[in-house]
Amino acid sequence: MDSHSTGRHTLFDLELDPEHLLRLTWARDASITEADAEAAMEKVNLLCGQNMHPMLVDMATTADVSRGARAVFGRPCQASRIALLGSSPVDRVMANFFLGINRLPCPTRFFTSEVDALAWLKLS
């Protein structure tokens, strides 16, 4: 597992599991800036190398995603498909806003069920 820290706390954890699934988990109450998004996408690309993998992004406790971060997340990376996992109506609103205004480089969907998200990711 790879982590990214800012100051005294970890902002996100990233791992490539034995089934070749990327798992990106943002810290509770994270306010994701453009620099944070760049760091996450850089680590995704480094971890994957030349291979593309499906990615589960746990954003269930994310507080905010800046406009600059949304732009970074709209760029191609080594994710073949992305499932955004949330748990609240606020998560759904943030995800739908992001999905509605950005042209995404790979299939991306929002889920409130990890089981459903994983099933969708395995379709690729």
CB 103 within 8 A of CB 94: no
Residue 92 pLDDT? 72
How far, in Å, CA of 52 to CA of 78, rounded?
A: 5
Of 2 and 36, the one with more pLDDT: 36
- Average of pLDDT values for 61-82? 89
Q: How far is residue 52 CA from its own chain's centroid?
A: 14
Which domains, ranges and CATH numbers included, belong to the chain?
A: 2-121 (3.40.970.30)
- pLDDT at position 97 over 70: no
Residue 55 pLDDT? 96
- Average of pLDDT values for 96-122? 84
How far, in Å, CA of 8 to CA of 107, rounded?
A: 34
Tell me which residue has tokens 């499932």.
83
Burial 78-103 (b: 16+ CB within 10 A, else e): bbbbbbbbbeeeebeebbeebeeeee
